[in-house]
Amino acid sequence: MYNNPFTLSSSDLLKFDIAIVGGGPAGLSAAYSASKKGAKVVLFEKDPSFGHNVRTSGVSWIKEMEKLGISNEYYNPIKNFSFISPNNEANMLGNDYTACVLDIKKTFQFLAIKAAAEGTTLFVKSNVFDIKRNADGRINGLKVFTPKGVADIDASLIIDASGFNSFISRKLGYVSLWQRYGVGAEYECYCDSINQDTLHLMVGQKYSEAGYAWIFPLSSNRVRIGVGIGRPESTVDPLIKLNKILESNLYPLNKLGKIQPIEVHYGMIPNEGLRKSCVYDGLMMIGDTAGQANPLVLEGIRYAIEFGQLAGRLGADSLQFASTRDSLIEYEYVCRKTLEKKIQSALKVQSRWLSLSDTDWDKEIDIIKDLTMGEFLDFIKSDFSNYKMMKLALNHPKLAARQLFDLVVNKHK
């Protein structure tokens, strides 16, 4: 039996129940829950460590994080929100902490330790270079360059958690590269002073030609400052845009005092909705590979953890049925039932937002000013139930607000 990832020879054939490609929050959560159910699991991460390259700004929601087992030692809590356009500003002041900015490296390594404690075999700095198939063409293993040599892996189920690039699923021909996506660049910085309870979003052409900029605090002196830009709506490099914003010291950056970059982060997130299918014989897709992201504010960590855990549980259950597509289809059903309407509604609102001029954005901020904190949070989180949206439209009779809410309520018409 193979138990030691540090004793690997080129002749070893390593047999596992489940092989996971990608050590982000989705892959690590799948590894944890599958191992907990008794499956023999191996996970391959191409970076030198878990959380080594930060590709996300780390914003999420406290209630969801606590439910998923991420405690307050892994994030900075947020209760206030500032929404800024070129000539307007809405400040939502909360009584309770609702959002959070995650310490990405610390969170990812926490998830890795949880998976390892349940028995997952973890490999870092390991790249899949070939996919094995049986006589019927079904995927049944991987070949991987690891620090200890080539790993020849047999597995009943492969979970593709390779992220935006969807390496395994694309190589199998099941999916193509994402055509609509957000690309973001940010600096993690020292600053003299910031209100660590407040998250800032900035919109309009001077901040982003097709997206938004942000200031996300990690502490009173540490902050993430970034720019996200939609493709194909704009070809602007977000890092170039971000540098211009910092050089110009635009509001509200001019309130932070001295700003000194400590790290630079760069990443991409899909912006098309869920894949047409995310399960096949012997294969599951999770996280960004499957399109499990909120396109309105381009955040997906909560979905990656939640549906990673679900994939691990259902993947382990499918082993007794040879992990056929039929035995995995419940995963796809739950994903669509939970996410599809939310994502499609958010895409419609996002499409409207991407078309707004600076003047339009100034008016849109007036709509946001009229919302209660609860209504604002539902909106940003894409919690677009028909009941909530109709209630909003009745409570806010301004024509502009009604048009925005009708856009969501009538999404299927």
pLDDT in tens, 137-161: 999 999 999 999 999 999 999 999 9
CA–CA separation, 56 and 101 (whole Å): 10
Instruction: List pLDDT tens digits, range 173-222.
Output: 999 999 999 999 999 999 999 999 999 999 999 999 999 999 999 999 99
Q: Among residues 233, 253, 270, which one ends one of the domains?
A: 270
Establish if 392 belongs to a structural domain. yes
Q: Are residues 181 and 270 in contact, defined by beta-carbon separation less than 8 angstroms?
A: yes
305 or 1, higher pLDDT? 305
Q: Among residues 289, 320, 340, which one ends one of the domains?
A: 340
Establish if 73 belongs to a structural domain. yes
Q: Are residues 285 and 275 in contact, defined by beta-carbon separation less than 8 angstroms?
A: yes
Do 155 and 210 belong together in one domain? no
Instruction: List pLDDT tens digits, range 360-378.
Output: 999 889 888 888 898 888 8
We report the CATH number of the domain holding residue 264 as 3.30.9.10
pLDDT at position 387 is 60
Nearest CA to 90 among 297, 365, 353?
Answer: 365
181 or 352, higher pLDDT? 181
Q: What is the mean pLDDT of residues 56-76?
A: 95
Q: How confident is the model at residue 411 (pLDDT cuts 50, 70, 90)?
A: very low
Do 224 and 372 belong together in one domain? no
Establish if 2 belongs to a structural domain. no
Burial of 134 (0-12, 13-18, 19+ CB in 10 A): exposed
We report the CATH number of the domain holding residue 331 as 3.50.50.60
342 or 74, higher pLDDT? 74
Q: Among residues 340, 374, 389, which one ends one of the domains?
A: 340
Least confident of 68-72, 177-181, 183-187, 293-297: 293-297
pLDDT at position 393 is 63
Q: Are residues 19 and 294 in contact, defined by beta-carbon separation less than 8 angstroms?
A: no
Establish if 334 belongs to a structural domain. yes
Establish if 371 belongs to a structural domain. yes
Q: How confident is the model at residue 245 (pLDDT cuts 50, 70, 90)?
A: very high
Tokens found for residue 352: 């409207």
Do 152 and 292 belong together in one domain? yes
Do 243 and 284 belong together in one domain? no
pLDDT at position 413 is 43
Do 111 and 29 belong together in one domain? yes
Q: Which amino acid is at 8?
A: L
Q: What are the DSSP E strand ranges found in 86-125?
A: 88-92, 99-102, 121-123
Establish if 246 belongs to a structural domain. yes
Establish if 7 belongs to a structural domain. no
Do 242 and 370 belong together in one domain? no
Percent of the chain clearing pLDDT 70 (strictly above): 90
Do 184 and 168 belong together in one domain? no
Q: Are residues 270 and 236 in contact, defined by beta-carbon separation less than 8 angstroms?
A: no
Establish if 6 belongs to a structural domain. no
Do 334 and 352 belong together in one domain? no
- Is the pLDDT at 2 greater than 60, yes or no? no
Torsion of CA 241, 247, 252, 254, to 10 degrees: 170
Total number of domains in the chain:
3
pLDDT at position 412 is 42
Do 185 and 166 belong together in one domain? no
Do 223 and 263 belong together in one domain? yes
Q: What is the mean pLDDT of residues 15-37?
A: 98
Q: Are residues 359 and 367 in contact, defined by beta-carbon separation less than 8 angstroms?
A: no
Q: Which domain holds residue 295?
A: 13-52+105-176+275-340
Compute the mean pLDDT over every residue in the chain, rounded to the nearest whole number.
91
Do 29 and 155 belong together in one domain? yes
Do 171 and 189 belong together in one domain? no
What share of residues in the chain are helix, strand, coil (percent, to 5)?
35, 30, 35
Which residue shows structure tokens 């003047």?
A: 359
